[in-house]
Structure 1
Amino acid sequence: MKKLLALLMALVFAFPMYAMAEYPSKPITIIVPSKAGGSTDTTARIFINAAKKYWNGANFVVQNIPGSGGQKGFEAIARAKNDGHTIGLVFTTQIVSHIVSKRARYTLDSFHVMGNAVDDPLLIAVPKESPITDLAGFIKAAKENALTVAVNGIGSDDFIAAKKFENKADVSFNLLPTKGSTEQKALILGNHADASIMNLSQMQAQHKAGTARVIALLNKERSDVLPDVKTAAEQGYDVNMTATRGFVAPAGIDKDILAKLDDLLAKVNSDPNFIADCKKNVYSRLPMSGEDYRAYLEGLQVETQSFYDKNPW
Structure 2
Amino acid sequence: MSRLAGTSGLLNPVPARMSRQGTPIEDTNRKDGRRLMREFPKLVSLACGAVVAVAMAVAGPLPAKADAVEDFYKGKTLKILVGYPPAGSYTAYAQLASRHYGKFIPGKPNVIVQNMAGAGSLVAANYFTNVAPKDGSMIGMFADTLAVSQLLFPDKVKFDATDMPYIGSFTPINPVLMVRADAGVKEFKDVLSKQIVVGCTGAGSQSYIMPRAMMSQLGAKFQLICGYRGSAAQTLALVRGEIDAQSSAWASWRIRYLDDIKKGKLVPIVQVGIEREKELPNLVLMHELTKDADKQKILKFLSIGGAIGRGFNAPKGIDKDKLAALRSGFMAMTRDAAFLADAKKQRANIDPTTGTKLDALTKEALATPENLVAEARESMKGYKKNCTKNCASPKKKKKKKKE
Q: Which residue of 2 aligns with 1:161?
A: 210
RMSD, aligned CA: 3.1
Task: Kindly indicate whether residue 123 of structure 2 is the aligned counterpart of residue 72 of structure 1.
Answer: yes
Within the candidate set 23, 39, 44, 2:72 is matched to 23
Mapped partners of 1:100, 1:233: distance in 2: 18
Deviation of 1:250 after TM superposition, in Å, equals 1.2
1:53-92 equivalent positions in 2, closer than 5 A: 53-55=103-105, 57-78=108-129, 79-92=131-144
Letter in 2 for 1:179: R
Within the candidate set 168, 178, 181, 1:115 is matched to 168
Question: Which protein, 1 or 2, shows the higher relative CO under an 8 Å CA cutoff with sep ≥ 6?
Answer: 1
TM-score normalized by the length of structure 2: 0.64
Q: Is the 8 A contact 1:69 1:179 kept in 2?
A: no
Within the candidate set 134, 138, 159, 2:191 is matched to 138
Mapped partners of 1:294, 1:31: distance in 2: 19
Deviation of 1:174 after TM superposition, in Å, equals 2.7
Q: Is the 8 A contact 1:113 1:247 kept in 2?
A: yes
Q: Which residue of 1 aligns with 2:99?
A: 49
The number of equivalent residue pairs is 294
Mapped partners of 1:234, 1:249: distance in 2: 31
Question: 1:17 and 1:124, CA in 2 relative to 1: closer, same or farther beyond 3 A?
Answer: closer
Question: 1:82 and 1:298, CA in 2 relative to 1: closer, same or farther beyond 3 A?
Answer: same
Mapped partners of 1:113, 1:232: distance in 2: 26
Task: Could you tell me which runs of 5 or more consecutive residues in structure 1 were left unpaired when the two chains were aligned.
Answer: 1-14
Among the aligned pairs, what percent are the same residue?
22
SS of residue paired to 2:109: coil
Between stretches 28-37 and 160-169, larger displacement belongs to 160-169
1:1-313 equivalent positions in 2, closer than 5 A: 20-24=69-73, 25-55=75-105, 57-78=108-129, 79-102=131-154, 103-142=156-195, 147-177=196-226, 178-204=228-254, 205=258, 206-218=260-272, 223=277, 225=279, 230-232=283-285, 236=289, 241=303, 242=306, 244-279=309-344, 281=346, 283-303=348-368, 307-312=372-377, 313=381
Mapped partners of 1:223, 1:16: distance in 2: 40
Query: For each residue in 1:44-69, what CA deviation from the matched residue of structure 2 results, as whole angstroms up to 9, or x when unmatched?
Result: 11122221332475211100011101
SS of residue paired to 1:106: coil
Mapped partners of 2:71, 2:166: distance in 1: 23
Mapped partners of 1:294, 1:257: distance in 2: 17
Q: Is the 8 A contact 1:119 1:283 kept in 2?
A: no
Task: Could you tell me which runs of 5 or more consecutive residues in structure 2 were left unpaired when the two chains were aligned.
Answer: 1-63, 291-295, 382-403
Query: For each residue in 1:261-302, what CA deviation from the matched residue of structure 2 results, as whole angstroms up to 9, or x when unmatched?
Result: 122112123223434444555555443332221111111233
Letter in 2 for 1:191: G
Deviation of 1:23 after TM superposition, in Å, equals 1.8
SS of residue paired to 2:84: coil
TM-score normalized by the length of structure 1: 0.80
